[in-house]
């Protein structure tokens, strides 16, 4: 048997750099200097793949990398200012209000516990969650031996009930993976003559089906010929076979996260937005309080579900066990009228997978839009959500062959999100090794949204193992009143509602048919920014992309919050930044 | 039942409504906003009305004349009312509209759509970079500044050398913006010459032709843009990238007919991006007319209003059972980018008014109408034509008789 030390050493030897390392409790700390960011990623991944490594803290510098001195300075200053202002005392403080933090908050709200969820942004789901494609994966893809695999299939199965309880939209549309002559083109030379089509038609689909079965995915079917096009009439006629996975679903990711958070709040969880952890008050090997820009949250347990910033939060707590390497995904949004072209989550199997587009596909949404993507590009900056023309072209070229007749000129928006991947490329849900009362819920990459209900249950179990006492709350109400949309009402319903409340009849976003009443309801439920209103109501998500309604929404927000127009926020930045006429300069 | 329902209470809709009411028809105007006047309400600069009234007015003044007239003629006005559905298959058409007083159904014999245009946004030109606060369309800025007295930002970059971009630039300059730069990919401004002089040159506002924004930079709020020079084909020239610091990016990328809001299957002309119309601005659905910037984006509100007046005559003919013959297609070709109307089909005596946009810049030009055999049927001389100026021609009816298609082109004079 080789020791972990010798395995790491031998992996590092393959890279042409002098990288030093140390290992503590199966966590590998790397130091050294390399040329480029991509080498930084590559070395981290090669160490992360070693069996037995539970985390990679990658302190290797690359040319152009730098410490975020300003941020560290700011944290120190805020820490000193706020360390003696107590906000409250809690059993559990959750750091990070993405879908995972929100799901855990809701899970904890089932018990007699005082819980606070803190989120640095101005809204729930404002990080990685909001830029997700909304797919609820069935669970065919995660490799054996991963936590992702265990929690994906389970999480998927939980969605039906969750959607019903929380009143968010969930369509179990199923996915269809097409096999075409392109699928194994890279291996053509090994599969001469009729062997190629035999493998394509019969062997590969079966392999995929068996992989799914092993992972516990039920109902997978292999389709051939016209059966494919009965299910998906616009799919490329190149498809010789397809694997149909019925349990795949789609949701609106921020609707899910907001619903979870609202229900958690209704059941007693405190949600603190614009609240950012800057440090921890510790006693020996335990956290006593989370220091934030709002003051100290004293706590018995801390959960780190800070997504892209989980590594920084862990480091602040003395629990640095992993480094996040941000991986950007670009998504294209097509107009609602393209929804007729896609019934399922549609993808073409191409082997080997293109590292920049793996995992992507063509997805319907619960609103009728169609999404293409995402890409998968390692980026140095956690907040690099930029999209270039080249990236748009890449996605268009990759997916156009799957639906040849798709009107790709109906592209109305593009955006990018950044995944919070660790170098072990699996979920990290475990007690911190060197901090007694901190639970990591980190490295939640795809299929994190699908797995999130199961992640919450699993994390709860971990907290119980760490000593958290769970007494069920008698008054827990699992149900949330859903947001009602004028767009999904019959005219009779809308008429009736309008007669009781005229705001229902004032349409502020004509592209998506959103009424003033919906905006008011979003504000009443806690939306304070333009984007928070947009995510809850869809105002601004249509063809004109907000050029008509932005100002209308801003006026309502201003009226309802009492903030003047030039102090409103889009998400974190000022929506309008200039002076007011008369209040000169 | 109404004789005519006009959808859209901007200048074109109001002009149509007023004309029809003057002819004695029972007219309703349906407007989604809280007041009549449409986009003119935010256009507080002057230059409106030179053709219609022979004087130069501000946008609100121009609109006011039609608003007053509409009310004095007793036209029924529905404000804050959004047209949700239209059934226009038969002689009796039904409009379902939503307003704060409920869902209403309105029966009418004819419909005039006058819902204008929308602004092109950054996604349509695949503007790269991030999507922070501080990126706006020009019309939104105009509304923000002129109606609510708030400036969008301090250091301004304007993309687009058309009329709207120039007018907004002048306005922000007058309101005390710290810096303004206009960039556009063309060699010169695409807007009207009078605006180049009065809005840009007179105020010394800096501009960069053959320049585009490669990407927007900024996380929470715009921090700047990366500019790049482009060649004649608008391809970026390598090595010309430069950072420009600003907190605001204003998109003046042009206007598009707002056909997304047409609730019927009317045929759309890919060249104008508006509905195809005949010489009385009737769409491909009988009894449904489209006027103003919905049909194609006009340089002057006066021209948009003229389409409404022509359509009013068409509505009258339609309601009185006027006759049609087999349609003659009116098509652009070569040096003409687009033409409205796209077909001529009514039995009528009067000349056909057409608007066409040249694809070329040329002095001493002849706008020609030719038969499909290439025979010149009518020609119009122009001292100067250019893509930024829409040309209005009045074509004799006789040109169309016996033809199936008439082509328009521009030849040397």
Enumerate residue ranges in chain B where pLDDT < 70.
none
Q: Residue B352 has which token pair?
A: 């056909």
Question: Is there a contact between A505 and B101 if contact means CB atoms under 8 Å apart?
Answer: yes
What residue spans define the domains of chain A? 4-62, 486-567
Question: Is there a contact between B99 and A550 if contact means CB atoms under 8 Å apart?
Answer: no
Angle of helix B11-22 relative to helix B301-319, nearest 10 degrees?
40
User: Are B331 and B410 in a shared domain?
Assistant: yes
Residue A585: closest CA among chain B residues belongs to which residue? Answer: B176
For residues B409 and A131, give the distance between their C-alpha atoms in angstroms, rounded to a whole number.
49
pLDDT band of residue A578 (cuts 50, 70, 90) is confident
For residues B315 and B311, give the distance between their C-alpha atoms in angstroms, rounded to a whole number.
6
Query: Across all residues in chain A, what is the average pLDDT?
Result: 96
Question: Is there a contact between A392 and B82 if contact means CB atoms under 8 Å apart?
Answer: no
Q: Which residues in chain A (347-386) have CB-CB distances under 8 A to chain B?
A: 383, 385-386
Average of pLDDT values for A401-426? 96
Q: Which among A334, A576, A581 is the top mutation candidate for probing chain B, defined by the most B β-carbons within 10 Å of its own β-carbon?
A: A576
- Counting the structural domains of chain B, the total is 3
Question: Is there a contact between A505 and B148 if contact means CB atoms under 8 Å apart?
Answer: no
Nearest of A417, A425, A431 to residue A445 by alpha carbon: A425
Which residue of A515, A543, A579 is in closest CB contact with B151?
A579
Average of pLDDT values for A168-192? 95
Which of A37, A137, A335, A579 is the catalytic position?
Answer: A137
Average of pLDDT values for A490-510? 97
Chain mean position to CA B401 = 30
Cα distances from B204 to residues B191, B197, B200, in angstroms, run 17, 10, 6
For residues B79 and B85, give the distance between their C-alpha atoms in angstroms, rounded to a whole number.
17
Q: Which residues of B touch A498 (CB under 8 A)?
A: 98-103
User: Are B12 and B103 in a shared domain?
Assistant: yes
For residues A205 and A199, give the distance between their C-alpha atoms in angstroms, rounded to a whole number.
9
What residues contact residue B165 under an 8 Å CB cut-off, 6+ apart? Answer: B138, B158, B159, B182, B184, B191, B250, B252
For residues B215 and B218, give the distance between their C-alpha atoms in angstroms, rounded to a whole number.
10
Which residue of B100, B133, B148 is in closest CB contact with A570?
B133
Q: CA angle, corner A67, sides to A65 and A72, nearest 5?
A: 160
For residues B298 and B49, give the distance between their C-alpha atoms in angstroms, rounded to a whole number.
13
Q: Which of B253, B275, B295 is the last residue of a domain?
A: B253
Q: Which of B275, B303, B322 is the last residue of a domain?
A: B322
- Check CB contact of A489 with chain B, cutoff 8 Å: no
Residue A334: closest CA among chain B residues belongs to which residue? Answer: B123
Question: Is there a contact between A581 and B150 if contact means CB atoms under 8 Å apart?
Answer: yes
Say if A4-62 and A486-567 have the same CATH topology: no
Question: Would you tell me how many other CB atoms lie within 10 Å of the CB of residue A408?
Answer: 16
Q: Which of A107-121, A365-379, B47-61 has the lowest mean pLDDT?
A: B47-61
Which residue of B139, B176, B247 is in closest CB contact with A547?
B139
For residues B82 and B103, give the distance between their C-alpha atoms in angstroms, rounded to a whole number.
10
pLDDT band of residue A2 (cuts 50, 70, 90) is confident
Domain that holds residue B337: 325-413
pLDDT given at position A64: 85
| Cβ–Cβ under 8 Å, residues B44 and B146 | yes
pLDDT band of residue A353 (cuts 50, 70, 90) is confident
Question: Is there a contact between A491 and B103 if contact means CB atoms under 8 Å apart?
Answer: yes
Pairs of residues, one from chain A and one from chain B, whose beta carbons lie less than 8 Å apart: 148
Superfamily for domain range A486-567 = BFD-like [2Fe-2S]-binding domain (1.10.10.1100)
| Cβ–Cβ under 8 Å, residues A17 and A32 | yes
pLDDT at A356 over 80: no
pLDDT at A584 over 60: no
Average of pLDDT values for A421-425? 97
Residue B215 distance to chain A (closest CA, Å)? 7
Question: Is there a contact between A505 and B100 if contact means CB atoms under 8 Å apart?
Answer: yes
- Does the bond joining A374 to the residue before it have cis omega, within 30 degrees of 0? yes
Which residue of A415, A507, A584 is in closest CB contact with B82?
A507
Q: For this structure, is A579 an active site residue?
A: no
User: Are B192 and B262 in a shared domain?
Assistant: no
Question: Is there a contact between B133 and A491 if contact means CB atoms under 8 Å apart?
Answer: no
Residue A409: closest CA among chain B residues belongs to which residue? Answer: B124
pLDDT given at position A204: 96
What residues contact residue A443 under an 8 Å CB cut-off, 6+ apart? Answer: A310, A322, A324, A420, A421, A422, A424, A425, A426, A427, A428
Residue B373 distance to chain A (closest CA, Å)? 35
Q: Which of B322, B350, B365 is the last residue of a domain?
A: B322
CATH number at residue B244: 3.50.50.60
Residue A574 distance to chain B (closest CA, Å)? 6
Question: Would you tell me how many other CB atoms lie within 10 Å of the CB of residue A475?
Answer: 7
Q: Which residues of B touch A572 (CB under 8 A)?
A: 219-220
pLDDT in tens, A275-288: 999 999 999 999 99
pLDDT given at position A1: 60
For residues A346 and A360, give the distance between their C-alpha atoms in angstroms, rounded to a whole number.
9
Sign, CA torsion A485/A491/A497/A498: positive
User: Are B16 and B127 in a shared domain?
Assistant: no
Question: Is there a contact between B99 and A576 if contact means CB atoms under 8 Å apart?
Answer: no
Superfamily for domain range A4-62 = Cation efflux protein, cytoplasmic domain (3.30.70.1350)
pLDDT band of residue A65 (cuts 50, 70, 90) is confident
Angle of helix A204-215 relative to helix A147-166, nearest 10 degrees?
70
- Check CB contact of A566 with chain B, cutoff 8 Å: yes
Question: Would you tell me how many other CB atoms lie within 10 Å of the CB of residue A349?
Answer: 19
Question: Is there a contact between B118 and A544 if contact means CB atoms under 8 Å apart?
Answer: yes
Residue A121: closest CA among chain B residues belongs to which residue? Answer: B220
Helix, strand, coil abundance in chain A, percent, nearest 5 = 35, 25, 40
User: Are B110 and B140 in a shared domain?
Assistant: no
What residues contact residue B94 under an 8 Å CB cut-off, 6+ apart? Answer: B85, B86, B87, B105, B106, B107, B108
For residues A155 and A144, give the distance between their C-alpha atoms in angstroms, rounded to a whole number.
17
Region at B46 (left for phi over 0; alpha for psi -120 to 50; beta for the rest): beta
High-pLDDT (> 70) share of chain A, %: 99
Cα distances from A372 to residues A236, A328, A386, A395, A404, in angstroms, run 16, 14, 16, 7, 14
High-pLDDT (> 90) share of chain B, %: 92
Question: Is there a contact between A386 and B32 if contact means CB atoms under 8 Å apart?
Answer: no
pLDDT band of residue A395 (cuts 50, 70, 90) is very high
User: Are B114 and B9 in a shared domain?
Assistant: yes
Average of pLDDT values for A359-388? 95
Question: Is there a contact between B119 and A388 if contact means CB atoms under 8 Å apart?
Answer: no
User: Are B164 and B92 in a shared domain?
Assistant: no
- Check CB contact of A576 with chain B, cutoff 8 Å: yes
pLDDT given at position B264: 80
Residue A573 distance to chain B (closest CA, Å)? 4
Residue with the larger pLDDT of the pair A358 and A396:
A396
Phi and psi at residue A536, in whole multiples of 5°? -85, -25
Per the document, the length of chain B is 413
Which residue of A415, A492, A569 is in closest CB contact with B131?
A415
First CA to last CA across chain A, in angstroms? 73
DSSP H/E element including A9: helix A4-13
Residue B247: closest CA among chain A residues belongs to which residue? Answer: A577
For residues B39 and B30, give the distance between their C-alpha atoms in angstroms, rounded to a whole number.
15
Residue B97 distance to chain A (closest CA, Å)? 9
Facing residues of B58 across strands? B46
């Amino acid at each position: 048997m080789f020791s972990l030390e010798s395995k790491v050493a031998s992996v590092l030897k393959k890279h042409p750099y002098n990288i030093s390392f140390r290992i503590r409790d199966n966590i590998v700390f790397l130091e050294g200097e390399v040329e480029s960011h991509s080498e930084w990623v590559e070395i981290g991944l090669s160490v992360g793949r070693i069996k037995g490594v539970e985390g990679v803290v990658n302190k290797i510098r690359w040319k152009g990398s730098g410490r975020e001195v300003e941020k560290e300075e700011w944290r120190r200053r805020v820490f000193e200012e706020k360390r003696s202002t107590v906000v409250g005392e809690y059993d559990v403080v959750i750091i990070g209000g993405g879908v995972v933090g929100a799901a855990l908050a809701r899970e904890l709200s089932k018990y007699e516990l005082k819980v606070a969820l803190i989120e640095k942004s101005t809204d729930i789901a404002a990080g990685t969650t909001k830029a997700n494609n909304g797919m609820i994966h069935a669970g065919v893809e995660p490799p054996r031996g991963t936590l992702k695999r265990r929690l994906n299939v389970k999480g998927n199965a939980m969605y039906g009930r969750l959607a019903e309880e929380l009143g968010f939209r969930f369509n179990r549309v199923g996915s269809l993976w097409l096999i075409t002559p392109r699928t194994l083109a890279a291996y053509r030379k090994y599969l001469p003559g009729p062997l190629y089509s035999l493998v394509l038609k019969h062997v590969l689909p079966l392999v995929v089906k068996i992989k799914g079965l092993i992972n516990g995915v039920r109902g997978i079917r292999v389709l051939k010929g016209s059966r494919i096009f009965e299910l998906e009439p616009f799919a490329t006629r190149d498809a010789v076979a397809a694997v149909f996975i019925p349990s795949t679903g789609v949701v609106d990711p921020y609707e899910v996260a907001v619903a979870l958070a609202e229900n958690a709040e209704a059941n007693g969880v405190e949600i603190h937005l614009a609240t950012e952890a800057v440090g921890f008050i510790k006693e020996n090997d335990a956290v006593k309080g989370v220091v934030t820009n709002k003051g100290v949250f004293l706590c018995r347990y801390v959960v780190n579900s800070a997504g892209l910033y989980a590594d920084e939060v862990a480091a602040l707590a003395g629990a640095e066990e992993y480094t996040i390497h941000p991986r950007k995904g670009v998504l294209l949004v097509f107009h609602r009228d393209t929804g007729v072209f896609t019934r399922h989550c549609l993808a073409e199997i191409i082997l080997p997978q293109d590292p920049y587009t793996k995992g992507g596909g063509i997805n319907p949404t619960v609103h009728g839009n169609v999404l293409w993507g995402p890409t998968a590009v390692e980026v140095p900056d956690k907040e690099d959500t930029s999209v270039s023309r080249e990236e748009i072209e890449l996605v268009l070229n990759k997916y156009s062959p799957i639906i040849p007749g798709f009107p790709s000129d109906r592209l109305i928006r593009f955006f990018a999100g950044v995944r919070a991947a660790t170098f072990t490329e699996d979920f990290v849900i475990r007690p911190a090794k060197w901090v007694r009362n901190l639970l990591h819920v980190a490295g939640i990459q795809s299929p994190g949204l699908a797995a999130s209900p199961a992640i919450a249950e699993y994390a709860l179990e971990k907290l119980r193992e760490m000593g958290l006492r769970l007494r069920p709350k008698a008054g827990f109400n699992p149900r949330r009143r859903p947001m009602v949309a004028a767009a999904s009402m019959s005219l009779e319903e809308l008429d009736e509602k309008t007669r009781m409340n005229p705001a229902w009849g004032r349409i502020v976003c004509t592209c998506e048919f959103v009424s003033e009443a919906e905006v008011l309801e979003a504000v009443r439920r806690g939306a304070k920014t333009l984007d928070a209103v947009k995510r809850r109501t869809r105002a601004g998500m249509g063809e004109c992309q907000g050029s008509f309604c932005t100002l209308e929404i801003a006026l309502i927000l201003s009226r309802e919050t009492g903030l003047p127009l030039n102090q409103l926020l889009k998400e974190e930045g000022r929506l309008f930044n200039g002076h007011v006429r008369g209040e000169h300069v | 039942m109404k004789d005519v329902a006009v959808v859209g209470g901007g200048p074109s809709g109001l002009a149509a409504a007023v004309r029809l009411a003057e002819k004695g028809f029972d007219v309703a105007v349906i407007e989604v906003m809280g007041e009549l006047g449409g986009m003119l309400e935010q256009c507080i600069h002057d230059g409106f009305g030179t053709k219609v009234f022979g004087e130069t007015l501000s946008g609100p003044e121009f609109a006011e004349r039609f608003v007053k007239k509409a009310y004095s003629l007793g036209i029924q006005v529905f404000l804050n009312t959004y047209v949700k559905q239209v059934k226009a298959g038969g002689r009796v058409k039904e409009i379902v509209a939503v307003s704060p007083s409920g869902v209403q159904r309105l029966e009418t014999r004819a419909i005039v759509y006058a819902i204008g245009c929308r602004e092109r946004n950054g996604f349509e030109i695949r503007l790269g970079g991030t999507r922070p606060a501080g990126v706006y369309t020009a019309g939104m800025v105009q509304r923000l500044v002129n109606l609510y007295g708030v400036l969008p930002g301090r250091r301004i970059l304007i993309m687009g050398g058309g009329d709207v971009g120039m007018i907004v630039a002048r306005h922000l300059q007058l309101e005390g913006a710290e810096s303004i730069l206009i960039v556009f990919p063309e060699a010169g401004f695409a807007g009207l010459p009078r605006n180049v002089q009065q809005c840009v040159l007179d105020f010394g506002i800096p501009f960069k032709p053959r320049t585009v924004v490669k990407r927007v930079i900024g996380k929470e709020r715009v921090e700047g843009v990366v500019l790049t020079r482009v060649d004649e084909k608008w391809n970026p020239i390598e090595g010309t990238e430069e950072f420009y610091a600003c907190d605001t990016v204003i998109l003046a990328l042009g206007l598009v007919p707002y056909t997304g809001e047409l609730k019927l299957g009317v045929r759309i002309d890919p060249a104008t991006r508006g509905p195809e119309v005949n010489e009385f601005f009737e769409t491909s659905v009988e009894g449904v007319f489209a006027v103003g910037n919905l049909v194609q984006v006009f340089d002057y509100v006066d021209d948009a209003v003229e389409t409404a007046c022509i359509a009013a005559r068409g509505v009258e003919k339609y309601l009185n059972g006027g006759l049609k013959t087999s349609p003659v297609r009116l098509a652009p070709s070569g040096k003409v980018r687009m033409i409205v109307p796209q077909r001529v089909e009514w039995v009528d005596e009067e000349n056909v008014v057409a608007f066409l946009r040249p694809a070329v810049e040329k002095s001493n030009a002849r706008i020609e109408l030719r038969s499909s055999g290439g025979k010149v049927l009518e020609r119009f001389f122009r001292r100067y034509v250019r893509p930024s100026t829409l040309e209005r021609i009045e074509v004799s009816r006789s040109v169309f008789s016996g033809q199936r298609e008439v082509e328009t082109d521009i030849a040397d004079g």
